[in-house]
Amino acid sequence: MIRAKRLCDCASLRVMDYRCEAGPDDRPFTEMHDRLSLSYVRRGSFGLRSRGRSYDLVAGSILVGRPGDDYCCTHEHHDKGDECLSFQFTAEGADWLGPLREAWETRAVPPTPDLAVLGELAQAAAEGRSDIGLDEVGHLIGERFLTIVSGWSGRPQAASASDRRRAVEAALWIEAHAADAIDLDAVARFAGLSPFHFLRLFRRVIGVTPHQYLVHCRLKRAAGLLAEPEPSVTAIAYDVGFGDLSNFVRSFHRAAGVSPGAFRKAARGERNLFQERLARLAVA
The predicted-structure confidence for 241-259, as pLDDT tens digits, reads as follows: 999 999 999 999 988 888 9
pTM of the predicted model as reported, rounded to 2 decimal places: 0.81
* pLDDT value at residue 265: 86
Taking the CA atoms of 145, 148, 153 and 158 in sequence, report the sign of the dihedral they define. negative
| Position 27 confidence tier, pLDDT thresholds 50, 70, 90 | confident
* pLDDT value at residue 278: 46
Query: How buried is 279 (Cβ within 10 angstroms: 0-12 exposed, 13-18 middle, 19+ buried)?
Result: exposed
Taking phi over 0 as left and psi of -120 to 50 as alpha, with beta for the rest, 269 belongs to left
CA distance 137 to 141: 6
> What is the radius of gyration, based on Cα positions, of the chain?
18
What is the number of helices (H) and of strands (E) in the chain?
Answer: 10, 10
CA distance 193 to 119: 32
- Residue 268 or residue 107, greater confidence: 107
